[in-house]
Structure 1
Amino acid sequence: MSLYAHVKNLLIYIFLFPIIGSLFLSLIPASEEKFMRVVALNVTGLSFTGCLLLFGFFHKGTGAFQYVLQYPWFLGLNLNLTLGVDGISIFFLLLTTLLIPLCILASWNSVKSSLKEFLITFLVLEFFLIGVFCTLDLVFFYIFFESVLIPMFLIIGIWGSRERKVLASYYFFLYTLFGSVLMLLSVLYIYWQVGTTDYQLLLAFSFSEQEQKFLWFTFFLAFASKIPMIPVHLWLPEAHVEAPTAGSVILAGVLLKLGTYGFIRFSLPLFPQASFFFTPLVYAISASGVVYTSFTAIRQTDFKRIIAYTSIAHMNLVILGVFSFNTIGIEGAIFQSLSHGFVASALFLIIGVVYDRYRTRIVRYYGGLTSVMPIYATIFLFFTMANISFPGTSSFVGEFLILTGSFKVNTIITILSAMSIIIGGAYSLWLFNRIVYGNLKTQHTNTFLDISAREFLIFLPLISGTFIMGIYPDIFLNPIHMSVNIMIELLYF
């Protein structure tokens, strides 16, 4: 058997690594806390290493799905578990498998209660997320897409940091579940119309214009609540504020990308006519969301809530790129989604560093940290610059491509959305100034300690990824380009 054949089969192992690891963790005595952490870290590290190997053997000159594996599920119903990746999903897999071990490292000392259950929950969450990004069947996509809610609901509700954590977990669950119920009905409708839910076969099927409009709108409700777009965005600030640091990292880094991925993978290629028809609606909602949440972020007093509203603004900007229907805009949307996964995750980790030390996230309780935490201040400055799309960082490339692509579709909406960069610069720099400069406040911070070696190790891959994407984006854009070209052909031909 050739080396490529072995690598091809590696996809199923990457898919199963987390669930096998969670079963192994369940057998370890609860008293062996250090051993459980090491096991969980190694399992997630193996998943990331496997994804790196997949990317190393990935044929970047084609946009077709690679490493495709098919396993029969219900033969009588023609339903199969089909796995595969292309130039789009491979990067979301890499992002997921990178952030999960960083979340475990970030929780190394902060999670004291029910540690075994916490680690198992994160491994199960990784299993579902990998399933979302590599499955090529609508039924299984829906199963994994919705199953993600369960472990995230538990992470917020059990290991959250404040008294409103249970309410926030219900907000998250109900808001995101509501839109997905109609999507399930649409998946069933597609099955009875076509006779299969295999994604590659569905690409060759043409729905009528009325069918496309109905199906597109039901998928839109499911994906819009995950991004989230206004007016179904209220769950996100609450979920971030109440979630533990690791929960906020994976929520901002990966879960907010599920909606974007859904639009790119399903809505545009399967329902092209409806996508064009509803574009004015999407542009209006997205532009409103970008401006509204950017202004809302300025008046927040909670460190996490500020970054949460920032995330909504950035993800709504991404949707403008998705619905630009040109190669530049869609590539920019994918690139910016990956960039946001690095930058937003790092910003929530930055919040977690000071919260672990001083047990507060109220901005006015901080000040002058640059004199006692210089390494922390330097890392904070780097990601602040990345958050406002400073040239040389990944966000600059992503937002430049998005605005270039959307400019061809609607100049006014693009200009309005570009204002968010100015607003974003205002609240990001103002936040950094209040936390890092000024007088040192000691009434709530009696002991000052700069970041540890473990914390620096967590930030290192995020800094490297943000910097590499900013100075040499072709590493990411070249594989993405071929898959996006196939999507453009499906849209227009």
Structure 2
Amino acid sequence: MSYHLLALLLIPLIGSGLLFAFKGKAGKYIAFGTALIQMLLTFIVLYSFDSKPTVDSVLQHEINEAWFLSIKSKLHFGIDGMGMLMLMLTNILTPLIILSSFNEKNSYRNSFYALILLMQFGLVGVFTALDGLLFYIFWEVTLIPIWLIAGLWGQENKRFEFTTKFFVYTFVGSLFMLAGFIYVYNYSASFALTDMYNADLNLTQQTVVFWFIFFAFAVKLPVFPFHTWQPDTYTFSPTQGTMLLAGIMLKMAVYGILRYLLPVTPDAIAGISGAIVIMLAIIGVLHGALIALIQNDSKRILAYSSFSHVGLMLAGIFASAMLVTKGTFTTEGGTGALVQAFAHGINVVALFYCADILYKRFKTRDIRQMGGLARVAPKFAVLFLIVVLGSVGLPLTNGFIGEFILLKSIFDFSVMAAIISGITIILAAAYLFRFYGKAMFTTGDEAVLASVKDLSDVEFAVLTSLAGMVILFGVYPQPIIEMVSSSLKFIYQSMVN
């Protein structure tokens, strides 16, 4: 048994329990300390992690104990390159998300932080579970805390109306995924990941299973046309809730597609189902970018931007998957999607935090009522610009290499799809630079600007950390690419074995 992985699972759960019981005023420091310990342990695991294992031995730090023997479901956890990358994203961003809330004055503070740690527990479970039933349970564990965070601490009177829509969408999608897993279980006699991969399903059965499981992931990403819950939920959730949703939670679906959907339903993907998904992804890429271009609400710009970016990840994954099923072995789509998922998590958390900083200065999310902030807040202007450049994929920033690999994988599948996807990069630059320009350089209200201060210590610490990662993983992305390489070879090879 891996005690390192066991600790990664238990630390946020124990911290959450303590905060629910704790009545003092130091809850935020307990939460931050717990998240820092979790981050430190993640780096310890990373230090001992073999980033270049053989394809047949990609799993490390395994836990494999008896659980529901009657249905052959085990407490089976492990870490491969994909899981390690997602653990890094989760456990690096969580303390920064907690730290970003230190200047807030919300009520029920201990419960707020307890829910964040409970969600972190669920996320770690999702990214390490190697049993279908276990994966589903942790998938559901993440839903409750984010729904409560968004509903109880949202910014509008009708916040529960919008967050309940999110809850219903994702819960129903999860039930479809469970139904798909149970169907596969009937042909594999086990929820073990390898047994599910080897289930003997014909094309019709795989197609049914594909759409059942894909629906859950499509809602979570979200994919067009299952995205209608996203703009309002992102807009009306507290900033930390939006960070968790956009920065980490939607990556569960990217991970789930690669881990469960591709190897279980390769024949369905080779046919019309895969082509439909790529079409929906490309529509979403263009649709999200065009709507972001005409938005004036800062959080809605970022919500639709996120919707557009995840569409590109999805298109890349399925482009490579379809090429593999047709005899051309490639892992580029999966590599680009995971690298971009990691970069997008960092960038979108930073962007939503910048939007929150702007809201605190101008008391509005309407970018038309902002302006002139670069003159009175130069530190913020520089850090905000670094994040924007990363989000538009400027070379030597973290957003570049993932987008480049994704476009290459889509180009190999379809030149037209790659051209349409490439246009959205231009649109992304247009709407993000419009956002940045209006906030930083247009003529602002002098009365407002006279009272505006530059970044506080907390804001500077959070944004500097995020901007530093934008540059670090842009200049040196190779360790991430190497980390996920063996896992993706195993995933894509499982499709044709």
| Same fold (TM > 0.5) | yes
Give the Cα–Cα distance (whole angstroms) in 2 for the partners of residues 192 and 261 of structure 1: 24
Give the Cα–Cα distance (whole angstroms) in 2 for the partners of residues 321 and 255 of structure 1: 19
- Given the alignment of the two structures, is residue 192 of structure 1 paired with residue 186 of structure 2, yes or no? yes
- 1:257-276 aligned at under 5 Å gives the runs 257-276=251-270
Q: Amino acid of the residue matched to residue 400 of structure 2?
A: F
Instruction: For residues 42-95 of structure 1, give each alpha carbon's deviation from its aligned partner in whole angstroms, at most 9, with x where no partner exists.
Output: 111111111111111111121411111012222222221111010111110111
- Given the alignment of the two structures, is residue 359 of structure 1 paired with residue 353 of structure 2, yes or no? no
What's the counterpart of residue 317 of structure 1? 312
Q: Is the Cα contact below 8 Å between 1:388 and 1:421 reproduced in 2?
A: yes
Q: Is the Cα contact below 8 Å between 2:188 and 2:200 reproduced in 1?
A: no
- Given the alignment of the two structures, is residue 179 of structure 1 paired with residue 163 of structure 2, yes or no? no
Bigger CA drift: 443-452 or 228-237? 443-452
Q: Is the Cα contact below 8 Å between 2:367 and 2:439 reproduced in 1?
A: yes
What's the counterpart of residue 414 of structure 1? 418
What's the counterpart of residue 326 of structure 2? none
- Alpha-carbon distance, 1:186 to partner: 1.6
Q: Is the Cα contact below 8 Å between 1:84 and 1:135 reproduced in 2?
A: yes
- Alpha-carbon distance, 1:327 to partner: 1.3
Give the Cα–Cα distance (whole angstroms) in 1 for the partners of residues 289 and 380 of structure 2: 25
What's the counterpart of residue 457 of structure 1? 461
Bigger CA drift: 289-298 or 170-179? 170-179
- Alpha-carbon distance, 1:202 to partner: 2.4
Give the Cα–Cα distance (whole angstroms) in 2 for the partners of residues 194 and 96 of structure 1: 32
- Alpha-carbon distance, 1:359 to partner: 2.8
Instruction: For residues 344-389 of structure 1, give each alpha carbon's deviation from its aligned partner in whole angstroms, at most 9, with x where no partner exists.
Output: 1100011111223443211112101000010111111111111111
What's the counterpart of residue 41 of structure 2? 50
- Alpha-carbon distance, 1:444 to partner: 5.1
Bigger CA drift: 106-115 or 304-313? 106-115
Instruction: For residues 398-444 of structure 1, give each alpha carbon's deviation from its aligned partner in whole angstroms, at most 9, with x where no partner exists.
Output: 00000101111111111111100111111111111100002122455
Give the Cα–Cα distance (whole angstroms) in 2 for the partners of residues 252 and 475 of structure 1: 24
Could you tell me which of 403, 406, 420 is aligned with 1:402?
406
- Alpha-carbon distance, 1:209 to partner: 1.7
Q: Is the Cα contact below 8 Å between 2:386 and 2:470 reproduced in 1?
A: no
What's the counterpart of residue 90 of structure 1? 84
Unaligned 5+ runs, structure 1: none
- Given the alignment of the two structures, is residue 38 of structure 1 paired with residue 29 of structure 2, yes or no? yes
Q: Amino acid of the residue matched to residue 294 of structure 1?
A: A
What's the counterpart of residue 443 of structure 2? 439
Q: Amino acid of the residue matched to residue 468 of structure 2?
A: S
- Alpha-carbon distance, 1:190 to partner: 2.0
Give the Cα–Cα distance (whole angstroms) in 1 for the partners of residues 393 and 348 of structure 2: 12
Task: State percent identity of aligned pairs.
Answer: 31
- Given the alignment of the two structures, is residue 22 of structure 1 paired with residue 16 of structure 2, yes or no? yes
* TM-score, normalisation: structure 2: 0.95
Give the Cα–Cα distance (whole angstroms) in 2 for the partners of residues 439 and 460 of structure 1: 27
Give the Cα–Cα distance (whole angstroms) in 2 for the partners of residues 149 and 24 of structure 1: 20
Q: Is the Cα contact below 8 Å between 2:185 and 2:196 reproduced in 1?
A: no
- Given the alignment of the two structures, is residue 167 of structure 1 paired with residue 164 of structure 2, yes or no? no
What's the counterpart of residue 228 of structure 1? 222
Q: Structure 1 runs of 4+ off > 4 angstroms?
A: 443-446
Q: Is the Cα contact below 8 Å between 2:282 and 2:312 reproduced in 1?
A: yes
Give the Cα–Cα distance (whole angstroms) in 1 for the partners of residues 81 and 105 of structure 2: 36
- 1:44-443 aligned at under 5 Å gives the runs 44-62=35-53, 63=55, 64-277=58-271, 278-325=273-320, 326-442=330-446
What's the counterpart of residue 471 of structure 2? 467
- Alpha-carbon distance, 1:302 to partner: 0.6
Q: Is the Cα contact below 8 Å between 1:324 and 1:406 reproduced in 2?
A: yes
- Alpha-carbon distance, 1:191 to partner: 2.1
Secondary structure (helix, strand or coil) at the match of 1:88 reads: helix
Unaligned 5+ runs, structure 2: 321-329
Bigger CA drift: 457-466 or 400-409? 457-466
Q: Amino acid of the residue matched to residue 296 of structure 1?
A: I
Q: Over the residues paired in the alignment, what is the CA RMSD in angstroms?
A: 1.4
* TM-score, normalisation: structure 1: 0.95
Bigger CA drift: 173-182 or 127-136? 173-182
Aligned residues: 484
Give the Cα–Cα distance (whole angstroms) in 2 for the partners of residues 342 and 381 of structure 1: 14
- Alpha-carbon distance, 1:293 to partner: 1.0
Q: Is the Cα contact below 8 Å between 1:267 and 1:275 reproduced in 2?
A: no
Instruction: For residues 6-50 of structure 1, give each alpha carbon's deviation from its aligned partner in whole angstroms, at most 9, with x where no partner exists.
Output: xx3110111011111112223322xx22x2111111111111111
Q: Is the Cα contact below 8 Å between 2:369 and 2:444 reproduced in 1?
A: no
Secondary structure (helix, strand or coil) at the match of 2:176 reads: helix
Q: Amino acid of the residue matched to residue 433 of structure 1?
A: G
Q: Amino acid of the residue matched to residue 366 of structure 2?
A: I
Relative distance call for 1:193 and 1:320 in structure 2 (3 A) is same
Q: Amino acid of the residue matched to residue 41 of structure 2?
A: G
Q: Amino acid of the residue matched to residue 460 of structure 1?
A: T
Give the Cα–Cα distance (whole angstroms) in 2 for the partners of residues 111 and 279 of structure 1: 47
Bigger CA drift: 94-103 or 175-184? 175-184
